[in-house]
Structure 1
Amino acid sequence: MLLSEATVKRNPLTIAKSVDLVIIGGGLSGTCTAITAARSGIKVVLVTDRPVLGGNASSEVRLWVLGATSHMGNNNRWAREGGIVDELLVENTYRNPEGNPLIFDTIILEKVVQEPNITLLLNTAVYDLEKSDGETISKVFAFCSQNSTSYELTAPLFCDASGDGIVGFLAGAAFRMGAESSAEFGEQFAPTKEYGELLGHSLYFYSKDTGKPVRFVPPAFAIDVTQKVPKFQRFNAHEQGCQLWWLEYGGRLDTVHETETIKWELWKVVYGIWNYIKNSGKFPESDTMTLEWVGAIPGKRESRRFEGDFILTQPDIVEQRPHYDDIAYGGWSIDLHPADGIFSEKPGCNQWHSKGIYGIPYRSYYSKNITNLFLAGRIISTSHVAFASSRVMATCALGGQAVGMAAALCIKNNWLPRDLSSPERIKGLQHELMKIGHHIPGLFLHDPADLAHQAAFSSSSTLVLNELTADTEPFLMEHSMGQMLPVKQGKMPVITMQVYAAKQTQLVVELRKCLKNGNYTPDHLLKTLTLPLRQGRNDIRLDFNVLIEDDTYAFIIFRKNEAVSFCYSNKRITGILSVFNLVNEAVSNFGQQQPPEDIGMESFEFWCPQRRPLGLNIAMEIEPGINCFDAENVKNGLQRPTIKPNAFVADFSDADPEIAITWSTGQKVKRIELSFDTDFDHPMESVLLTHPESVMPFCVRSFQILDNKGKIVYQEDDNYQTRRTIIFPAPVYTSRLRIKLTHPSENVPASMMEVRVYEN
């Protein structure tokens, strides 16, 4: 028994901790910041006021993680974010293709607690700080209600990834809240006050079928949605979770200090919705259904945005302006919501896409007036309009891992965040990020320490794509469709194929490319062929007789004709995609973007893949065959398709494909970095949506590494991740390495994106 004498006042247990970097906020951006910094060798405290990590992606809110891929609903091909965020999403897809948010919680927590350089403080809220001078934070104070403990956290560097920017606010960092005028940054899409200057919060719920009648008595605070919610007709018994993203409120309030008020209003709506579904008599299927879960905290979209040395704006996104210090990218639409949310007569969102991904500069990731404060997540330095795109979680996470790496470089060199922003130093940050699989548009990795650059590469075979075999029965065209093919500078290959017509008709075929090489919006028409078809089978020959000016992706577009059928191929190949002129209402894709003339957005068509098991390639023969899959690609510094596949791909007929790496003299090899194709075009939404497979079909599962004597020095039989780092217990001395691969399946040839070799 513990006895204590009475006293005037007691202080809670206080723990002081000093590290290299204190990160406030355990959402996906703060988590990726922490993991990246810790793996880069610095000591980190990650402090969050929630019981689990993930923020809006956690089981507390249950929003799917998305970024530039935009549900595969835009023209951003192979745009899923790389590095740590990719590692998390691939792991989640492997363990949790059903999208259970509780499982995703465990995956994020596991990744953090496995890092010895991270001290994790859950349920711990920062409430105050100290500054050593007007521009420098020296310490933050936090309190954990669960263990009644105070923490004093000291570091030379801090990162605010808290969503509302509590540390930036307390420190006096310059910030903005609400929308700028159209004139300030030349943003034609800037909203009016009538539309609203802030995005609100959303609250989700889940239901389940119990198999027996369940009645529902609403709480007294539930509202009558038929009287107060203009969109009540949209509610049904089946949509749930973040499919109800438009269940939003709070854009007219202070989204920091009135969050509890907003939450209560959303609770009133949620229970009113369920009362309507259960008791209106319009949804008999709900008789056996019950509420399984209702969010206790809302998912926030917007509050403060802090000013850095650069403010990202609408023209940066629409024009895809390059910046010398780009260290992340976005690709979600500019997605504004009416401030009145669920109570508005207006559509729940107003999304306009750019033609491709855009870069986000390093100068947006630190405070302009607090010298040791990094910014991560939705609070980075953007305008309100640009924020409408950069705010989504995968984009925030990508920026977070860039901040983690920047912090590590600053600690190692005794720099402050701004010191790293010079054109000379920023190259070092970009270099280190690309080494961990972090893609930066327009850049490629060349690491002088990589022994692969001194070696000759060869392979047992190389795919020459001269045919996408016809493996299906003919299917009627439901949409205009196209086949993306990587072509080299020179004459466009000739395509031959079989087309089936239900009657005499014509087929319009277009050859297109992108005005901006590296985009995947086929906005440049090169040639149109109009082919007469007779009823039945037609053998057609597409000789466009066009010279291709640069290595690029060509789009062979077949305009919709409901009398025409095509065969498809079961062969799936790294960097080869079919695309369709589809409608995806979830991201305001109606086949073609036609914005009003006065909002500064562009008109163009959407050409998007279908999700597997659909999305087969179109059967055709190609002459001459496409020859861009050789082994040298694995050292070209790119880890995903860009203007070409950037991959080694073996021939289908090669029973034992391998890559050989040969040096003229013996080498000491301690570490090998490998990158595989985990389909960066698949968005891997973390919750609610299910996925057709747990391992991407292009990913090599089994491989061996052999030395020059034929000894197996490493073997893997259950790979599913993008990146594999192999560290040998003792160095391997060899003049040759052979990487033997196993084809993922009979319809998918073995491929590899990258090989790097190091002596330490």
Structure 2
Amino acid sequence: MRNETVKTDIAVIGGGLAGVNAAIAAARLGRTVALVNNRPVLGGNSSSEVRVWVCGATAHGTQRYARETGIMGELFVENQFRNKDGNPYFWDMVVLEAVRAEPNIQLYLNTDVHEVEADGEAHDRTIRAAIGWMMGSERRIRFESAVYLDCTGDGLVGFLAGAKYRLGREARAEFGEEWAPEAADEIMLGSTLLFYTKDAGHPVKYTPPRMAIDVTKTTIPERRIIRSGDNGCAYWWIEWGGEHDAVHDNERIRDELWSVIYGIWDYIKNSGKFDADNMTLEWVGSLPGKREYRRFVGDYVLNQNDILAQREFDDRVAFGGWSIDLHPPQGVYATESGSKHLFPDGIYHVPFRSLYSVNVSNMLMAGRDISASHVAFGTTRVMATCAVIGEAAGTGAALCAAKGISPRELHGSHLRELQQTLLRQDASIIGLRSDDETDLARGARVFASSERSRFGIEQPAYAIPLHADIGITVPVDPALDGIELLVDADAQTTLVVELWDTGRPENYVPHAKLAEASVALSAGSLQWAKLGLSWTPVTACNAFLVVKANEALALHISDRPSSGVLAYRRSEQTGTSRPNEEHQPGQPLVEWRKHEFDHAAPCIRLTAPTEAFAADKAIDGYLRPYGGPHLWSSERMTAARLEWLELTWSEPVPIRELHLVFNDDVNDDLINLHHHITPYETMPTLVKDYRVEAREGGAWATIAEGRGNYKRKNVLRLDAPIQTDRLRIVVEMTNGSEYAEIVEVRVYA
């Protein structure tokens, strides 16, 4: 046996996606990091050991423009490029290689931290060391750091340090949460085991083990959806343990879940109700995926009202968008639906005060154990949201370590620096504008080879009958002055379109009706119907157009969609109740569904010119859609004209580093495993080949280039600084889009 001491600036305990993102964020800011994980692979519940889908703010495509950026976004895009089919082992490698690419990270796998040295009074504790045992190597390792991050999920490090925490459900009166119980209790969400199946190509016998339950003697076949071809997270509802202690009863919970899985497989194989003769079990999990345990208390406890009101915290550092998603305590044996869901009207914000301990001065937390009520935890718990919270916490930890201050002091005196650092990293924050004084691009004038000032989607692929209302969001910048829609009319009729605002820049649902217009149409095909809808908002924003249902009309749809435009079909059911999930009525995100129009959009023209895609959008400080697309888009690319974006300064400036953010369409829902397969390896909207030119001595010279790019953010560091008053990014080819698009350009000396 060996005793070792590891000294780093920061110790991140827990190697799930929250810990991975925290460690990478801190390391990229120059801090030394020990990343300690008690399992042989990284990724936590998303790893090949558990195989839970990485869900996040997109909510499987329910939210709009909500896919995470920053480090989690990098992992999504990298996995899409390397592992489109969602092999769980390849996902393990994507995560591992992202960590090993950072020289400032020391990685310790199979290392279980079970001792913490901390001192101080109960209200002001300080962690001095965390001690772990590396299984299989007989190494007892003492981790000494200035700052600690508890990313363990179960909150063991903070618990051992004396951090204040909560277990179970708060009483309704504590935060005024409608979904909280009248009285507080210790009920939590349960744990899950998953399984994979395959077709063996020949009949396969199945004799259930003695532990398998007879599911026909339970409510499972009646209350849950069982299909022979489903795999993995399609069986997320195999959940149990909500009325038990998820940690101390972990072995009992695992055995019960095994008995359910082998019983369900007996039902599929031997009941005669399924075409499953050739099916066999390929993999059954043995490590329960825990949903909930300790939640630490921070300077702020995020609650249901914050989520539904989309409260814009001054200290917001991350966002989420998954529904408040709570499950019955009895889990798989419950007679009610397996989950109930409640969405805000768009994404919600997470404050930094929920990411550090109220009483342990040098501890931050990220993942399932942040400071949130049980109800709010119902949405913050999903892994991509845990990951972006991890990036925020890791960035905060790096600044604390560099300045020798506590997270609370960072919040009090350096909050703007924290937020601006996150924006520079392309992190997942919505509605905050970058105003980095060191970014030379902010002082430049911007020109382009062309701008998409006349907006139209004009290439029809098919038509859909207007059996239901169709919604369309379009950018209004600076004004809307008439629209045209491409329709077919079976008979003489009237097309009616309503104009609504969206209420908030980050929302994409109808909020308040502003106007209505109609046009009489004769029978005929491929008619451009003109409607006189006008609106000049105070600031640029999105309009929500409601094309009213009309059985005599069909609306033409293009399979060549455009940035800035989304479409939706209005559902007659504002709430749904199914065996596996129940959606509360009155939720606009559920009422207006966009899945039918993924990678498609109605044929529409805006009569007035638009500035939504102007060249200066690439330096306006917004990295994501927010009341508009916030990117430069060229006109349709042609072989006769190269598209470029040019920055000019009144005097030459020194340039050493360039940050280019290309459009990877954050409306497109990516996932790490097999929930669905996005049809392409690389986002078509991304720039593929480009070069950067600087004006030197009266001529353009190439100073950097990118070839075969499939990433959103490119950081280009020059071998030696240059002086120039003109810089140009020339787009030679995209990954499939007809338009050259750049979200942001930053320039540093």
Displacement of 1:462: 0.8
In the alignment, what sits opposite 2:537? 548
Give the Cα separation in 1 of the matches to 2:144 and 2:583: 52
In the alignment, what sits opposite 2:146? 156
Match for 2:5: what amino acid? A
Q: Which moved more, 1:460-469 or 1:246-255?
A: 460-469
Give the Cα separation in 1 of the matches to 2:236 and 2:583: 24
Cα 1:583–1:741 shift into 2, 3 Å: farther
Give the Cα separation in 1 of the matches to 2:592 and 2:405: 45
Q: Which moved more, 1:157-166 or 1:193-202?
A: 193-202
CA contact (8 A) 2:388 2:428 kept: no
Give the Cα separation in 1 of the matches to 2:215 and 2:469: 41
SS of the residue aligned with 1:667? Answer: strand
The answer on 1:471 being equivalent to 2:455 is no
Give the Cα separation in 1 of the matches to 2:289 and 2:332: 14
Q: CA offsets per residue over residues 593-621 of structure 1, 9 Å max, x none? A: 9847xxxx866763343367x54221123
Give the Cα separation in 1 of the matches to 2:227 and 2:595: 26
Cα 1:616–1:465 shift into 2, 3 Å: farther
1:529-678 aligned at under 5 Å gives the runs: 529-537=517-525, 538-581=527-570, 595=584, 606-610=591-595, 614-653=598-637, 655-678=641-664
CA contact (8 A) 1:552 1:643 kept: yes
Q: Indicate which of 665, 678, 691 corresponds to 1:704.
A: 691
Cα 1:574–1:115 shift into 2, 3 Å: same
Give the Cα separation in 1 of the matches to 2:166 and 2:149: 18
Give the Cα separation in 1 of the matches to 2:319 and 2:498: 31
Give the Cα separation in 2 of the matches to 1:34 and 1:114: 12
Structure 2-normalised TM-score? 0.94
Cα 1:587–1:313 shift into 2, 3 Å: farther
Q: Indicate which of 272, 289, 292 corresponds to 1:299.
A: 289
In the alignment, what sits opposite 2:419? 430
Give the Cα separation in 1 of the matches to 2:19 and 2:246: 20
The answer on 1:713 being equivalent to 2:703 is yes
Give the Cα separation in 2 of the matches to 1:71 and 1:587: 16
Displacement of 1:513: 1.3
Q: CA offsets per residue over residues 190-241 of structure 1, 9 Å max, x none? A: 1367998310011111100111111111111011111124345621101210
CA contact (8 A) 1:195 1:338 kept: no
CA contact (8 A) 1:595 1:603 kept: no
Q: Indicate which of 253, 257, 271 corresponds to 1:266.
A: 257
Displacement of 1:354: 0.5
The answer on 1:107 being equivalent to 2:98 is no
In the alignment, what sits opposite 1:7? none
In the alignment, what sits opposite 2:231? 240
Match for 1:114: what amino acid? A
Match for 1:409: what amino acid? L
Match for 1:418: what amino acid? R
Match for 2:711: what amino acid? Q
Displacement of 1:558: 1.4
In the alignment, what sits opposite 1:690? 677
Match for 1:494: what amino acid? G
Displacement of 1:636: 0.9
Match for 1:706: what amino acid? E
Q: CA offsets per residue over residues 144-171 of structure 1, 9 Å max, x none? A: 1121211111111111000100111111
Cα 1:393–1:611 shift into 2, 3 Å: farther
Match for 1:101: what amino acid? P
Displacement of 1:294: 0.7
In the alignment, what sits opposite 2:246? 255
1:26-425 aligned at under 5 Å gives the runs: 26-73=15-62, 76-134=63-121, 135-191=125-181, 197-231=187-221, 234-283=225-274, 285-422=275-412, 424-425=413-414
Cα 1:246–1:467 shift into 2, 3 Å: same
Give the Cα separation in 1 of the matches to 2:572 and 2:645: 41
Structure 1-normalised TM-score? 0.93
Give the Cα separation in 2 of the matches to 1:472 and 1:442: 35
CA contact (8 A) 1:25 1:47 kept: yes
Q: Which runs of 5+ in 1 are unaligned?
A: 1-11
Match for 1:644: what amino acid? G
Q: Which runs of 5+ in 2 are unaligned?
A: none
CA contact (8 A) 1:32 1:398 kept: yes
Displacement of 1:684: 0.8
CA contact (8 A) 1:196 1:339 kept: no
Displacement of 1:32: 0.2
Give the Cα separation in 2 of the matches to 1:685 and 1:483: 25
Cα 1:588–1:388 shift into 2, 3 Å: farther
Cα 1:341–1:746 shift into 2, 3 Å: closer
Give the Cα separation in 1 of the matches to 2:464 and 2:314: 48
SS of the residue aligned with 2:349? Answer: strand
Cα 1:72–1:122 shift into 2, 3 Å: same
Q: Please report the RMSD computed on the Cα atoms of aligned residues, expressed in angstroms.
A: 2.3
Cα 1:589–1:315 shift into 2, 3 Å: farther
Q: Which moved more, 1:325-334 or 1:129-138?
A: 129-138
Match for 1:40: what amino acid? L
Displacement of 1:373: 1.0
Cα 1:594–1:526 shift into 2, 3 Å: farther
In the alignment, what sits opposite 2:512? 524
Match for 2:192: what amino acid? S
Give the Cα separation in 2 of the matches to 1:247 and 1:585: 27
Give the Cα separation in 2 of the matches to 1:65 and 1:457: 38
Identity %: 38
CA contact (8 A) 1:570 1:747 kept: no
Give the Cα separation in 1 of the matches to 2:194 and 2:302: 30
**Aligned residues, how many?**
736
Displacement of 1:548: 3.3
Give the Cα separation in 1 of the matches to 2:326 and 2:181: 8
Displacement of 1:64: 1.1
Q: CA offsets per residue over residues 562-598 of structure 1, 9 Å max, x none? A: 44212223433322222333599999899xx9847xx
CA contact (8 A) 1:661 1:736 kept: yes
CA contact (8 A) 2:685 2:737 kept: no
Cα 1:587–1:660 shift into 2, 3 Å: farther
Displacement of 1:318: 0.9
SS of the residue aligned with 2:729? Answer: strand
Give the Cα separation in 1 of the matches to 2:10 and 2:572: 45
Give the Cα separation in 2 of the matches to 1:652 and 1:536: 29
CA contact (8 A) 1:334 1:352 kept: yes
Cα 1:108–1:157 shift into 2, 3 Å: same
SS of the residue aligned with 2:623? Answer: coil
Match for 1:334: what amino acid? I
Displacement of 1:497: 3.0
SS of the residue aligned with 1:162? Answer: coil
Displacement of 1:507: 3.5
Give the Cα separation in 1 of the matches to 2:8 and 2:737: 51
